[in-house]
Amino acid sequence: MLQKVPEPSRITFFVEADFVRRDQLAFKTGDGVESGQKIQPVLGNLAYAEASLGGTVTSVFSHTGNFGKKYTGITITVDKGKTAAGSRFQEAGRDITIETAGNFLRCIPGGLPDGLFAFADKIHTIVIQGADEDVLGVTRAYTVKHEMAALKQGIDVLRKISGARQIVLTIPGAMASEGGTAGVEIKTLKPEYPAANPRLVARDCLGITVPAGSACEEAGICFISAEAVASLGKARDTGMVPSRKMITVIKKSGEKVMASAVIGTPVGDVLTACSEKVNENDRIVFGGPMTGSAVFSESHPVEADTDIVIVQDAGQIPGVADRSCINCGDCVRICPARVPVNMLIRYLGAGDYATAADQYDLLSCIECGLCAFACPANIPVFQYIKLGKYEFARHNAAEAEHA
């Protein structure tokens, strides 16, 4: 069943760009925005969002995401009258190039990965992911099942704009017949988590092991969600940037609803449309149960890459404990990347990120979350790992700057 979430009265975008002073902003409260307009909120920073609806800017604010990542948030009160204007994408013509895609289509539903543009000349293989990476999600599989025409068009666009020699579609094993019509090479995935993890797909389906610490694109492989590819197809077909995102909504009861919402819609509106009630101390998770992230409020918007929204009842939330590792090794045996988590966690706990990376394979982690899932001591292992990677990268960047 597809639940169409009505157009919201207010939309919000987080753009990955940081501002220090208000005079660096390109938008201020009261400015008008047209539907399809490119919103590049910080002057001199190319990061942008694409207004899915028109209206009036009601607030521009600074937002801090996980691990201190800085965003500029912009909230628009929707004004139905302002939704007609054409976008500059339309003017750029239907013949999509890598430049027009980079300029206008990065925030299409599903989202185009930065690596597609940053490593454009290196990419030899594009993997279209028809299977969700995290458990419970069926968003990408939905596209393969129901939007094959758009997907094919999108594949055509990708062929033209990228130099990739090989285009592959990965699908869950059970869907072999649905994928067959796409006209590209099909790889079926094992039905077990985390088979759809990009690095495992690269290794198991393409026979390429991406070196730890470098992006898949650096190794020439670019992963794009099936939904994004279908969106590309629709963009070429209609000359408009599609604005509705498909989301697997998982209710407290475990029931799954496929919802379609305009990008920027507050998640609260999505849940209301799915008749799910959120109470005090419940948890809303964007992304799957293994790798997603919890959001602070029901105002948090649906973003281009929001594939799964889960609501957990306060009573279902497992706790974490501040205990030390008992060296049971459960994490080590479950880790698909063969990371010595039991040792790693000691160095991460002590803040020694350099040793963690050099000797205990911090950078080999493919971020599947299984170690923390299995840890009987309830140590937030995965959080330590992500923080460790972030701090390690930050430290290295700082060193490079001073060198």
Partner 1 sequence: MHSERKLVVSHAPFWHDGGSIAARHYNILLAALIPVIAGIVTYGVPALGVVALAVSTAIGWEFLMNKITRRPVTVGDGNAALTGLLLAMLLPATMPWWVVVTGTFLAVVICKQIFGGLGANPFNPVLMGTAMLMTGWPMLMDFNHMLADYVTGFNMVDPLWSAKYFGPETVASFTAGDLLLGKQAGGIGTAFGLGIIIGGFYLMIRGFIRWEIVLSFLVGVAVTALAFNMKNPDAYAGPVFHLLAGYTLAGAVFFATEDSSSPVNLTPMLIYGVGGGVMTVLIRNIGVYVDGVVFAILVMNLINPLIDKIRPKAMGKVA
Residue 93 neighbours by CB under 8 Å, 6+ apart: 100
Residue 185 C-beta: closest distance to partner 1, Å: 24
375 binds ligand SF4 (CB under 6 A): yes
Angle between helices 341-349 and 381-402 (to 10 degrees): 60
Mask for 333-372, x = binds partner 1 (CB under 8 A): x--xxxxx-x------------------x-xx-x--xx-x
Site residues (CB under 8 A) for partner 1, limited to 270-299: 278-285, 287, 289-299
Residue (26 or 377) nearer to ligand SF4, CB: 377
199 binds partner 1 (CB under 8 A): yes
Q: Which does 181 bind (CB under 5 to 8 A by kind): partner 1, ligand SF4, none?
A: none
Part in contact with partner 1 (CB under 8 A); list of ranges 44-52, 140-148, 179-187, 382-390 = 382-390
Whole-number CA gyration radius for the chain: 21
324 binds partner 1 (CB under 8 A): yes
Residue (12 or 291) nearer to ligand SF4, CB: 291
CA atoms of 150 and 182, how far apart (whole Å): 10
Residue (161 or 210) nearer to partner 1, CB: 210
Angle between helices 226-238 and 148-161 (to 10 degrees): 90
Residue 312 C-beta: closest distance to partner 1, Å: 6
Residue 180 neighbours by CB under 8 Å, 6+ apart: 186
154 closest CA partner among 183, 176, 180: 183
97 binds partner 1 (CB under 8 A): no
Q: Which does 345 bind (CB under 5 to 8 A by kind): partner 1, ligand SF4, none?
A: ligand SF4
374 binds partner 1 (CB under 8 A): yes
304 binds ligand SF4 (CB under 6 A): no
Q: What are phi and psi of 42, to 5 degrees?
A: -105, 125
Site residues (CB under 6 A) for ligand SF4, limited to 313-352: 325-331, 334-337, 339, 341-342, 345
Q: Which does 285 bind (CB under 5 to 8 A by kind): ligand SF4, partner 1, none?
A: partner 1
Residue 343 C-beta: closest distance to ligand SF4, Å: 9
Q: Which of 308, 379, 389, 391 binds ligand SF4 (CB under 6 A)?
A: 379
- Could you tell me how many residues of this chain bind partner 1 (CB under 8 A)? 69
Residues that bind partner 1 (CB under 8 A): 10, 199, 203, 209-213, 266, 268, 278-285, 287, 289-299, 310, 312, 314, 317-318, 320, 323-330, 332-333, 336-340, 342, 361, 363-364, 366, 369-370, 372-378, 380, 382-383, 386
Residues that bind ligand SF4 (CB under 6 A): 325-331, 334-337, 339, 341-342, 345, 365-371, 374-377, 379, 381-382, 385
